[in-house]
Structure 1
Amino acid sequence: MMTNLFSTFDPSTNFSLSLNWMSMMIGMMIIPPMFWLIPSRLNMVWINIIFTLHKEFKNLIKQKNFNGSTLIFISLFSFIMFNNFLGLFPYIFTCTSHMTMTLALSLPLWLTFMMYGWIKNTIHMLAHLVPQGAPNILLPFLVIIETTSNIIRPGTLAIRLTANMIAGHLLVTLLGNSGPSMNMYMLNILIIVQIMLLILESAVAMIQSYVFSILTTLYSSEVI
């Protein structure tokens, strides 16, 4: 029988450990540390990466009139790297290994740069078609070569990212499928090789997202 109405609020536990005041920490455990412990180490690492990318993209663009334009390329880098890393986990679809995804990223950006360049800086775009100091007899061929290289740029961006993602994942899958037919000694070697390949794929995931964003920045700097 309850002797006091307020005795229901007395601390009590059914465990050997005293867990009476653990309820205070449940809310902080649910909330990610990045939000209640700022700046966390992970947050500081990501901020340093963003500032480094901002400085590099800003040096490539070389135009003070386009403030905030580096955010587009930083967001592009973050999006591609996030999807590349997701593809390293089992049973997760790697969207960056398909041309549908990569071409959808490169083609709109390239079309935007081309439209802006030909509308705003027509003379500058025409000058890019003829390298400085080229012989007059080679000018028609150089214009065709430069025009072709400009047209295939979104395709090369998409194919580069797709091919690198497919190659690494395909190699990991082929080696993993050969595991059941190996003996114990070869299986240990296979596990070590797979771990090394996963480390390599992690580096490729970062490098390819960096290359994609850097090349996109270079293409944009040519039309300004």
Structure 2
Amino acid sequence: MTLTLLVLFLASIWAGTQNALAGGGSFITLPSLMLTGMDARAANITSCVALFPSQIVMGVTGRADAQSPPGLKFTTLLVISLVGGAIGAVVLLMTPPSVFARLVPWLVLFATVLFAWGSFFRKPPKPGEANHLSPWGEAVTQFCIAVYGGYFGGGIGLLMMASLTMAGLAVRNAGATKNVLAGVMNASAVAIFVFSPDVHWLQAAITAVGASIGGWAGAVMLRTVNEKLLKLGVVAIGLLLTVGLFWRA
């Protein structure tokens, strides 16, 4: 067990670094937590709780650049994210572990494809380009993302980057805004998950400490590491994890 927890700690450092540099850290924490003996649902819940502190730090750090798209109040987006995250968390807790175990390979595959699309194929909007999402469209989209985020969470950053830029935000502002909204939707999910017996607190604490160390290291390395190679690594890990989960299911 000691060796398994050491592996979890080292993997959590990797996950925190990965999140700071390119995203996709949950692809590391999910199988690492399952390695300690958890089922997929418990690992997903524990990972959400464990990674929450670093998400708060990211949101607070970039708060000055966060803003709402034209026609929407920022408080509206916050409320939508809060409610959607809570709904997703409740639905997850109502999902039997056996059912979630069958769903999770598809969820990881979806998140991997989404990450690959956002990293290598999606073109950022050009300055002055017309918006594709109305304020109502963005509100509905954000709610759906928040529900998905509370339920699973893989790829929510890319989904929000796509919707916020399509709603009229510049890429830099969209990045800061999605960090704040991710923290809010996960806050509502964590507030529900902390009462669940599926949270394995020892593993959550180890993951939180490791991810925090990794997040700091990633921030230091941000200007020297090849981001494209990191993103390719995330896609490769996601595909391997998908194959492994389908094989296990």
TM-score, with structure 1 as normaliser: 0.30
Point out which structure has higher relative CO (alpha carbons under 8 A, 6+ apart): 2
TM-score, with structure 2 as normaliser: 0.28
